[in-house]
Amino acid sequence: MDPKADDRVVEIGPGLGALTFPLSQRVTALQVIEIDRDIAAQLAAEFPPERLIIHQGDVLKFDLSALGPRLRLIGNLPYNISSPMLFHAAAFGLAIRDCHFMLQREVVDRMAAGPGSKVYGRLSVMLQYRFLVEKLFEVPAGAFRPTPKVDSAFVRLTPHVVLPAAARDERLFAAIVTKAFSQRRKTLRNAVADYASGEDLAALRIDARLRPEGLSVEDFVRVANAVAQRSS
């Protein structure tokens, strides 16, 4: 992450401070979001208030844009909220400079997967639409105490300055992606039939016999934009 003194760093779920202490040595003022009142109180007792700004509450309900522009998010995220947290961060993409998260390895593999991969899916498409996703390194289960049953990985998300492919209606785009991968064993002709016919797909030079994992992010955007144009 290489934080600089004046970076606006926000740690999500600091817990007992394994990342908080070294981060606080690198930045002038570190912000943290912690849901547990007791842990927040403990951190408040260990750090001067001007060095550690504590926001006690649920990060999934937190307005990240209220913390300022060019946020650098970091966290060893609780695995049970990993996907909701990633989508929450994506919703504030304009306020974010980058994200560095520790997650279950399988989740990071899904985030970074490309078309054709067995683990390429809704998470891959929706995150890669908004971010450059980089799997940086893996962390074995033995690095943690207590030892979990899964390995972990560290990932960097960097918002695209200009979207490689921009959806005219992002809600429609998200709905089509969700619908497609909710029936990923079906061909596109059937999986997105509520939105586009086989003829509509052929007009976009997309093979309707493909399964959803065969489409790139740009392909899904083209489908969504064609549907949006037809409906306007």
pLDDT in tens, 78-110: 888 999 999 999 999 999 999 999 999 999 999
What superfamily does domain 8-159 belong to in CATH? Vaccinia Virus protein VP39 (3.40.50.150)
pLDDT in tens, 35-83: 999 999 999 999 999 999 999 999 999 999 999 999 999 999 888 899 9
pLDDT in tens, 183-228: 888 999 999 999 999 999 999 999 999 999 999 999 999 999 999 9
Output the CA angle 164-167-172, nearest 5 degrees. Answer: 145
Domain 170-231 has CATH 3.40.50.1580: no
Q: How far is 190 from 209, CA to CA, in rounded Å?
A: 9
| Amino acid at the residue 171 | R
Of 5, 164, 167, 155, nearest to 85 by C-alpha is: 155
Looking at residue 183, what is its pLDDT? 85
Helices (H), the chain: 20-24, 37-46, 82-91, 105-112, 122-130, 170-181, 188-191, 198-203, 217-231
Looking at residue 69, what is its pLDDT? 96
SS3 category, 119 = coil
Q: How far is 202 from 113, CA to CA, in rounded Å?
A: 25
Looking at residue 92, what is its pLDDT? 94
8-159 and 170-231, same CATH topology: no
Of 37, 44, 55, 57, nearest to 17 by C-alpha is: 44
Residue 205 backbone class (left: φ over 0; alpha: ψ -120 to 50; beta: rest): left
Largest CA distance in the chain: 65
pLDDT in tens, 141-170: 999 888 989 999 999 999 999 999 999 999
pLDDT in tens, 163-191: 999 999 999 999 999 999 998 889 999 99
Of 103, 108, 115, nearest to 177 by C-alpha is: 115
Domain ranges of the chain: 8-159, 170-231
Residue 232 has pLDDT above 80, yes or no: no
**pTM of the full predicted structure?**
0.93
Looking at residue 31, what is its pLDDT? 98
Looking at residue 43, what is its pLDDT? 96
